Structure 1
Amino acid sequence: MKIYSASSLKSLCLAAILAGCGSTDKPKPHYTEYDLEKPDKFNMPESLFEISGIAFDNGKNDTVYAIQDEEGKLFRLAWDVKMQTHTKFGKKGDYEDVSIVNGAAIVLKSNGALYSFPTSEVNHEEPESVREYKKLFPKGEYEGMYGDEKTGNVYVICKNCPTDDAKSSVTGYIINLSDSTKTAETFSIDVKQIKAIHGKVDRGFRPSAIAKNPVNNNWYIVSAVNKLLVITDSKWKVKDAVSLSSNMFTQPEGIAFDSQGNMYISNEGDDLAEGNILKFVRTAK
């Protein structure tokens, strides 16, 4: 067995760190589609300190639709303008995501229930035509949802479902509210594919938000638990898994894209920071 002196060990450790063997909290340098270190930050008003889901209407980024996870209110803001308006669609509860689909606002509750009402009523103090959809999906905890304008399909992904093992696979469901009597279709994310790219996924993969990029039709899935951005193709095969810096992403809970493919990720606030939305301009061609 070779024995090293204290000075030799110190030199070896320094060399390992310089070579990139030390721990890091920065995004992997190979990821170039978006510069995850240089966002345009929009700090939220106090009413959205606990912002969760965000959405745009058909990719138009002049208005941000947002919810927070304690009150049944849908908020609307112009980019970088803290003044907000809202409509109260439901009682207090744990609301996690929002989508705008073919003239309707759809809100996801953590138990999998969906709430829908016309966007023509978002200017009302309370919308008059709220519909609640229950028992569309198995019992579990849900935080991520995406509504597809072209098909009307709504995609909901499990964060913590008894039927899943988050260390091996995560299940999602596809439903069209125009015919909610139909059984939801399913899709799944193979966590082993994430591990093959990223390495260990502590506590399993537990998605917080999901959205489709209109430029390349890939899926982008955020996990606040592991501070992770996972990218899959249209068939749910994992293409990349990128670390999100804890310094930049306090608690990523929402994701959306505008029509140009620019990416927006919302973060709940903490003791040191306000809630915010980070905008990342797409750099890939």
Structure 2
Amino acid sequence: MKIIQITILAIVCSLGACNSKKGNRASETQSFPYDLKTPAHRYTLSPDLEEVSGLSYFKENQLLCVQDEKAVAYVYDLKKEQIADSSVFGGYGDYEGIEWANDEIYTLKSNGDLYHFKPFSKEIARIPMDFPGKIELEGLAYDSQTNRLMLAVKEGGKKDEKVVYMYDIKTKVLFKGMVIKDKVLTSAGVEAHKFKPSGLAVHPKTGDLYFLTSVGKMLVVITRKGQIVAAEPLDPKLFRQPEGICFSPAGTLYIASEGAGKPGYILEFANQP
């Protein structure tokens, strides 16, 4: 699939559009609605999800999970604290994201290819992508306002920027949707060379983009206009290897971490208005 460059739709971060003060200035813009030091609950995952790499809200009290080596979509029941069901959608690969959109499951491979299917269906559709140059993607999110999938680049591309591509589900068009300049990250107190998104989610209330970075152990929040409004550090003892992120419709935050030799787990954080 060729990328169509749509300039009018691109959200380009510049020093003028983003917070220009150094350090974490989230409190000066808006209060961060989660206490990332105090999870409301911790869900320990089974060995099947030791390397959990993607997370999505599915139904009430249920999340979708994927792990990076197996093409299996898992349904995790939060009440029973166990896998409720699973659906195989392919063979061995590097799968880094999962999303529930329009009654279908979408999964992201690190090379950018998307797979989508009805739950537990044997009919699997692959959407090949044609990106400029060699890149690695890990973050996948669904924006219900625009009916688009967001694909965050972790590695590759231009050295001084990070890109989020948009895939319009209706028109099947892929385009560059957000460009985040390194100098903008630096001005907001984020080490640009460590900003390598491992997860991405859209907040259901504010529409802000929540970027999870496993390398830099941070949660960076960026508005649709490209303003960085929060850059929250993640305690490495609490977040061993954060890879997946999602929200419930009410705003409850879930972050999944790989086990790194131990069981994988999901942390739940209450929304604090």
The bucket for the TM-score relative to the shorter chain is 0.7 to 0.9
RMSD: 2.0
Deviation at 1:236, TM superposition (A): 2.3
Matched, 1:154 2:146: no
Residue 102 of structure 1 and its aligned partner are, at CA, apart by 0.6
Match of 1:5 in 2: none
Which of the numbers 166, 180, 185 marks the counterpart of 1:194? 185
Alignment match of 2:162 (pick from 162, 170, 183) = 170
Could you tell me whether the CA contact under 8 Å between 1:206 and 1:223 is conserved in 2? yes
1:102–1:149 contact (8 Å) kept in structure 2: no
Name which of 108, 129, 133 aligns with 2:127. Answer: 133
Q: Normalising by structure 2, what TM-score?
A: 0.83
Kindly indicate whether the alpha-carbon contact (under 8 Å) linking 1:198 and 1:242 is maintained by their aligned counterparts in 2.
no
User: What SS does the corresponding residue of 1:184 show, helix, strand or coil?
Assistant: strand
Aligned match of 2:75: 76
Please state how far the C-alpha of 1:98 moved relative to its aligned partner. Answer: 0.5
Distance 1:189 1:29, change over 3 A: closer
Residues 142 and 202 of structure 2 are in contact (CA less than 8 Å); yes or no, is this contact kept in structure 1? Answer: no
Per the alignment, do residues 142 and 200 of structure 1 end up closer, same or farther by CA in structure 2, a change over 3 Å counting?
closer
Residue 236 of structure 1 corresponds to: 226
How many angstroms does 1:56 deviate by?
1.1
Find the counterpart in structure 2 of residue 88 from structure 1.
Answer: 88
- Contact 1:169–1:191, Cα closer than 8 Å, also in 2: yes
Give the Cα separation in 2 of the matches to 1:65 and 1:200: 31
What is the TM-score when the length of structure 1 is the normalising length? 0.80
8 Å contact from structure 1 (residues 74, 89) kept in 2: yes
- Distance change (3 Å), C-alpha of 1:218 and 1:29: closer
Equivalent position of 1:266 in the other structure: 256
Secondary structure of the residue aligned to 2:38 is coil
Task: Rate the CA distance shift 1:79–1:263 in 2: closer, same or farther, 3 A.
Answer: same
Residue in structure 1 matched with residue 267 of structure 2 by the alignment = 278
Which structure's relative contact order is higher, taking Cα pairs within 8 Å and 6+ residues apart? 2
Q: CA deviation at 1:270?
A: 1.9
Tell me how far 1:135 sits from its aligned partner: 2.1
Aligned-pair distance for 1:133?
0.8
Checking the alignment, whether the CA contact within 8 Å between 2:26 and 2:230 is kept in structure 1 is: no
Aligned partners of 2:269 and 2:177: how far apart in 1? 30
State the match for 2:17 in structure 1: none
- Mapped partners of 2:51, 2:235: distance in 1: 19
How far does the alpha carbon of each residue in 1:172-228 deviate from its partner, in whole angstroms, 9 at most, with x for none?
Answer: 111123322x34243112332222232544x34211111110111111001101001
Specify the alignment match of 1:62 in structure 2.
Answer: 61
Q: Check the 8 A contact 2:255/2:266 in 1, yes or no.
A: yes
Where in structure 2 are the equivalents of 1:211-230 lying within 5 Å?
Answer: 211-230=201-220
Deviation per CA, 1:35-79, whole angstroms, max 9, x where unpaired? 11111111111100000101013xx44111000000000000110
Larger radius of gyration: 1
Query: Which runs of 5 or more structure 1 residues have no equivalent in the other structure?
Result: 1-26
Identical residues among aligned pairs (%): 28
Counterparts in 2 of 1:204 and 1:32: CA distance versus 1, 3 Å: closer
